[in-house]
Amino acid sequence: MKKYIAEFLGTFWLVLGGCGSAVLAAAFPDVGIGLAGVSLAFGLTVLTMAYSIGHFSGCHLNPAVSVGLWAGGRFPARELGPYIFSQVLGAIAGAGVLYLIASGQAGFSMAGGFASNGFGEHSPGKYSMTAALVTEVVMTMMFLFIILGATSKRAPQGFAPIAIGLGLTLIHLISIPVTNTSVNPARSTGVAVFVGDWAVSQLWLFWLAPIAGAVIGAVLYRVVKGNED
């Protein structure tokens, strides 16, 4: 059970830290952290958890990562269900705590999206569904490629969390304007549950695209590495 509890807590922290920075601090008067700060916050949640729970559960925090690691031959299929369930529950719990905090401010409204992912009218930059689909597939593909490479036995040991955390930061720097950056179905689900309406109706893309991208990234990595690893 400790693996599933670790995944729950790690994903809880990812949503509370990453989405929390977007909801509470991104545009705070005079000292807002902006998109760069939010990007860094997401990267830091993964980096800190990777060092904290990586030796327990592998620190997936993301259904797409779990599926991608399975496709890459690094994770057993029998663990997918429990891992994904734990991740989604952790994301909802993190979003719940964030809601309790954010709603304590006078005038709080869900109209800002509560850091939900979206396309079309609900994309921060009003990008189309096609643009959102391509973005999420490609970004998750590269994320899995980074994860598999950084955690290889042939890679420098002890540095994988840094590479993965910085990789996620870069992904957010690129794609927040397009979809608010998902690359993580659990993260998308956690906040969408509280927003409802359009966030739930568009959620399918933020499950389909990251999982497809993760599988593609895993396949590409296996092609590149060949028999080495």
What lies within 8 Å, CB to CB, of 190 at 6+ separation is: 11, 15, 19, 88, 90, 91, 92, 93, 94, 95
Ordered structural domains, the chain, with CATH: 2-106+113-225 (1.20.1080.10)
Q: Round to whole Å and give the CA distance between 168 and 53.
A: 18
Q: Is 182 helix (H, G, I), strand (E, B) or coil?
A: coil
CB of 7 within 8 A of CB of 65?
A: no
pLDDT band, residue 31 (cuts 50/70/90): low
| Average confidence (pLDDT) over 55-80 | 94
Do the beta carbons of residue 178 and residue 125 sit within 8 Å? yes
Angle of helix 63-71 relative to helix 205-225, nearest 10 degrees, comes to 30
Burial class of residue 31 (count of CB atoms within 10 Å of its CB; 0-12, 13-18, 19+): exposed
Among 20-34, 42-56, 163-177, the least confident range: 20-34
Q: Give per-residue pLDDT as tens, 152-198.
A: 988 888 899 999 999 999 999 999 999 999 999 999 999 999 998 99
Output the pLDDT for position 53: 93
48 pLDDT tier (thresholds 50, 70, 90) = very high
pLDDT digits (tens, 9 = 90+) for 205-219: 999 999 999 999 999
Looking at per-residue pLDDT, the higher value among 77 and 28 belongs to 77
Q: How far apart are CA 127 and CA 110, in angstroms?
A: 21
Quick: pLDDT tens for 99-121. 999 988 888 888 778 999 999 99
pTM score, whole prediction? 0.93
Query: What burial class does residue 41 get, using C-beta atoms within 10 Å of its C-beta: 0-12 exposed, 13-18 middle, 19+ buried?
Result: buried
Distance CA 178, CA 181 (A): 7
Q: Is the pLDDT of residue 29 over 90?
A: no
